[in-house]
A and B are shown apart, each in its own frame.
Chain A
Amino acid sequence: MADTQTEPVAAIIDRYNGDPGMLIPMMQDLQAEHGYLPQGELKELSSGLAVPLAQVYSVATFYSSFRLMPKGDHTIQLCMGTVCFLKGAGKIAEAIREQFDLVPGGTSPDRKFTFAPVNCVGACALAPVMVVDGEYYGGLTTDSAVGLLEKIAAGDKPAGEAVVDKSKAAAEKEKKRGVAKKKKAAAGEKKGGGLKKKKKPAAGKKKSGGAKKKKDAGKKKSGGSKKK
């Protein structure tokens, strides 16, 4: 499988003075070279170090960063850390799976993407966050994540930070949820006695947080009255 451009296994072994204790770093280098761990090279590594192939294989399958299959053109690392999870990473994973026929750890049938959900990339301020080919994309929603990947599949590489304005997306979401909650409270009352109108000023009052939100509440209000 290896083309002539790649570094021979012997050179990798030499780099670590043939120390079998450095098996993992050697395999990391091998993977960096090929994008995955080709069988032939693993066998060479095993005989070169006099480490049983079974041990090489057990290491290759134990650590989640090793792959025994070739990689797609683009690698998607979707952060599944606690914060991303709380902010909807699970749904995004599901959407990616459906849209691109990708199972976690797998490569899409068209070899465009390799999908690697990771435990945490440590960029919690941007949650939910996805790293595609080393570029960070934060503040994602299911739609924006899928849209982004479609763009990348089409050959366009959007700049990381520019894709989603995180603060805006978060504010939007908050607004949505905050209002929904109020609505819910009001809806509960309404069922009993039909307290119309009442929650609108309430929603307005709640908006004291920021100018942008306020504007939005106004918009909503007028939307409501138009309806009447």
Chain B
Amino acid sequence: MSTVHTTLESANDLQHYRTAVQQRASRVDRIVRVCCGPGCIPKGAREVHRRFAEAAEALDEENVVVEARLTGCQGLCECGPIVTVDPGGIFYQNVKEEDVPEIWRESVVGNRVVERLLYQDEGMDKPARTAEEIPFYRGHRRIALALCGVIDARSMDDYIAAGGYEAVAKVLASMAPEEIIEVITASGLRGRGGGGFLTGRKWQSARNAPGESRYVIANGDEGDPGAFMDRALMEGVPHAVIEGMIIGGYAIGSSDGYIYVRDEYPIAVERLRNAVGQARELGLLGENILGSGFDFDIRLNRGGGAFVCGESTALMASLEGRVGEPRAKYIHTVESGLHEKPSLLNNVETWANVPHIISKGADWYASLGTERSKGTKVFSLVGKVKNTGLVEVPMGMTLREIIFGIGGGIPGDRAFKAVQTGGPSGGCIPAEFLDEPVDFDRLTELGSMMGSGGMIVMDEDTCMVNVAKYFLNFLKEESCGKCTPCREGIAQALHILTNISKGEGQEGDIEKLEALGTLLEDTALCALGKTAAYPVLSTVRYFRDEYEAHIREKRCPAKECPGLFRYEIDPETCTGCRLCAKKCPVDAITGERKEPHVIDQEKCTNCGTCFDACPFSAVIKV
């Protein structure tokens, strides 16, 4: 199914092209969608897809056409690789390469269901046949990800058949730039990258800024650990980002676009490059797009592996081939950004929302979400949660609905302790706020932030001091070192935290951390530094007793900080197998064969080897 090589010279051409690809699609009888998202590829999804594609190719039945699509993330990463078969939307999970012949024979060709590969969890009396029957998918509302997991991630024809580039045709044919900005403003769309700034207002400033040339930039430098929303989006629907950018370029009067994508995401780089090439080939990028007289092209830049480059001024410095150091923002980048020209930078998820808002209208978008946070938000739901996955839900859904409803709660019947949102700049929200709605303002009030959408669930075995330490360590490594508060302040706070976690904390340490946190917030140059202390401040705010236990009682309540708890052997459970004694590096374990063993606490270094080694779980933490 090769692309017809044409250049689209008008909106009419695009419409004809769409009709042609739709007609071709209508001849397909069965569609197999193999999820090749971030979670499924490592589990062998590519091989699964290859097998289906080969089978589809080799099919010589005259009247049946099967298409094997390689799609972006379908959401439920926990159960990947995921394969869905249409018609019927039959949802198969944990599909291995060797399952392909059976699915092909039974489901694709035979139109029957392979029961053993259906999804089922404890709460269900019978297996789910389709995604809609799976609790994880309840409450999802996909807009930015609407076509992710549905179309073939590499195919522009699929994107166009599903209505892609309709919004571009619409704005070029019938909307004035000011009108577009009005629609975006009225939709209430706010920046999805972290700041939550009103997108329409940003566009307006970029349009109003004096100067001839200006730039449009998509930030795909997703750096928050535990977040893969942007990765999934760029890999699954790269054309949505491009389409949004064309509209943005037209609205502010720019003909130069940049996508800054993280180099650690090679598939995203490849898909975007491929998509930009396809769009150029069809004439949707380049000169005189659809005969409108509007020129726009996109250049792809790969990041160099610096977290701080997610910050807008640092990103622009990096685009200029310099070290990614932020600058003070008393002059906004919308006025003077890349090459000192007005520059409109939005996160890739923000861009992906734009075509939908243009097509369906501001009112439609504004009808979703809460008072001040409109639309939907993509989250990567990860950590100690049963259903790890990619979730797009309307703003205002409660944390409980997301974590327990969609996420299925905490594995192993452990208790929920906190959820970390907003990446290293965010904070930890404890159980008492589980019923709070998730929107920009509420999360900020709770001492965290929306950020780009990472949602990391922690259970009772997670030590909050250790979590704070982890984030500060991350930020210390990633601090560019330009401003003193960030460079020295983070290191100092980390030093204090390290002492606390080693049981060497002192009275007054918590207050020092708070003082440092406030100092950072007030004086650091960029958002990385200003928010660096949030993981500390929010854990101190909600889990002060845990800090105090470390400092005063030299005890780690979650039993995670080495040295602040003991290992013991439960004589009831110990079978005397000698395994732990053999593995102990300091010979601290004694006991006769078939008799309960004992750990000599004097000798023990708390390394935990015995805990990991014991096949009977007889080694316990106390």
Per the bound structure, the CA–CA distance linking A192 and B226 in Å amounts to 43
- CB pair A187–B323 under 8 Å, yes or no, is no
The interface residues of chain A lying within 8 Å CB-to-CB of B619 are 180
Question: Can you list, as one digit per residue, whether each of A122-134 has a CB less than 8 Å from chain B (1) or not (0)?
Answer: 1111110100000
- CB pair A184–B323 under 8 Å, yes or no, is no
Question: Can you list, as one digit per residue, whether each of A114-151 has a CB less than 8 Å from chain B (1) or not (0)?
Answer: 00001111111111010000001110011100000000
The interface residues of chain B lying within 8 Å CB-to-CB of A184 are 620-622
Interface size on A, residues (CB 8 A): 71
- CB pair B620–A24 under 8 Å, yes or no, is no
- CB pair B411–A24 under 8 Å, yes or no, is no
Q: Which of B38, B43, B576 contacts A122 (CB 8 A)?
A: B38
- CB pair A160–B44 under 8 Å, yes or no, is yes
Per the bound structure, the CA–CA distance linking A190 and B228 in Å amounts to 46
- CB pair B307–A119 under 8 Å, yes or no, is yes
Per the bound structure, the CA–CA distance linking A124 and B470 in Å amounts to 16
Question: Can you list, as one digit per residue, whether each of B138-182 has a CB less than 8 Å from chain A (1) or not (0)?
Answer: 000000000000000000000000000000000000000000000
Question: Can you list, as one digit per residue, whether each of A155-188 has a CB less than 8 Å from chain B (1) or not (0)?
Answer: 0000111100011001000111111100110111
Q: Which of B192-245 contact A (CB under 8 A)?
A: 222-228, 231
Q: Using A21-B321, A161-B43, A170-B411 as known contacts, say yes or no to A123 and B38 having CB atoms under 8 A apart.
A: yes
Q: Which residue of A lies closest to B229 (CB)?
A: A122
The interface residues of chain A lying within 8 Å CB-to-CB of B89 are none
Question: How far in angstroms is the closest Cβ of chain A from B618?
Answer: 8
Per the bound structure, the CA–CA distance linking A175 and B324 in Å amounts to 46
- CB pair B304–A28 under 8 Å, yes or no, is yes
Per the bound structure, the CA–CA distance linking A125 and B465 in Å amounts to 24
Question: How far in angstroms is the closest Cβ of chain B from A62?
Answer: 4
Q: Which residue of A lies closest to B576 (CB)?
A: A227
Question: How far in angstroms is the closest Cβ of chain B from A114?
Answer: 14
Q: Using A62-B323, A63-B324, A125-B382 as known contacts, say yes or no to A82 and B413 having CB atoms under 8 A apart.
A: no
- CB pair B225–A81 under 8 Å, yes or no, is yes
- CB pair A82–B383 under 8 Å, yes or no, is yes
- The answer to whether the Cβ of A83 comes within 8 Å of any Cβ in the partner chain is yes
- The answer to whether the Cβ of A20 comes within 8 Å of any Cβ in the partner chain is yes
- The answer to whether the Cβ of A193 comes within 8 Å of any Cβ in the partner chain is no
- The answer to whether the Cβ of B88 comes within 8 Å of any Cβ in the partner chain is no
- CB pair B456–A187 under 8 Å, yes or no, is no
The interface residues of chain B lying within 8 Å CB-to-CB of A63 are 303-306, 324
Q: Which residue of B lies closest to A124 (CB)?
A: B382
Per the bound structure, the CA–CA distance linking A23 and B612 in Å amounts to 48
Per the bound structure, the CA–CA distance linking A175 and B383 in Å amounts to 17
The interface residues of chain B lying within 8 Å CB-to-CB of A160 are 42, 44
- The answer to whether the Cβ of B389 comes within 8 Å of any Cβ in the partner chain is yes
- CB pair A122–B42 under 8 Å, yes or no, is no
The interface residues of chain B lying within 8 Å CB-to-CB of A186 are 570, 572
- The answer to whether the Cβ of B265 comes within 8 Å of any Cβ in the partner chain is yes
- The answer to whether the Cβ of B550 comes within 8 Å of any Cβ in the partner chain is no
- The answer to whether the Cβ of A201 comes within 8 Å of any Cβ in the partner chain is no
Of the listed stretches A3-11, A51-59, A68-76, chain B binds A51-59
Q: Using A124-B382, A126-B42 as known contacts, say yes or no to A20 and B321 having CB atoms under 8 A apart.
A: yes
The interface residues of chain B lying within 8 Å CB-to-CB of A129 are 42
> Which of A22, A28, A66, A125 counts the most chain B CB atoms within 10 A?
A125
- CB pair B622–A199 under 8 Å, yes or no, is no
- The answer to whether the Cβ of B384 comes within 8 Å of any Cβ in the partner chain is yes
Q: Which of B222, B227, B321, B461 contacts A22 (CB 8 A)?
A: B321
> Which of B303, B478, B572, B616 counts the most chain A CB atoms within 10 A?
B572
Which 3 pairs show the lowest CB-CB distances between chains A and B? A63-B304, A136-B42, A23-B321
A-B CB contact pairs (8 Å), 5 listed: A25-B301, A81-B225, A82-B471, A119-B474, A227-B576
Chain A residues at the B interface, C-beta cutoff of 8 Å: 20-25, 27-28, 51, 55, 58-59, 62-66, 80-83, 85-86, 91, 118-127, 129, 136-138, 141-143, 159-162, 166-167, 170, 174-180, 183-184, 186-188, 190, 196, 199, 206, 209-210, 220, 223-224, 226-227
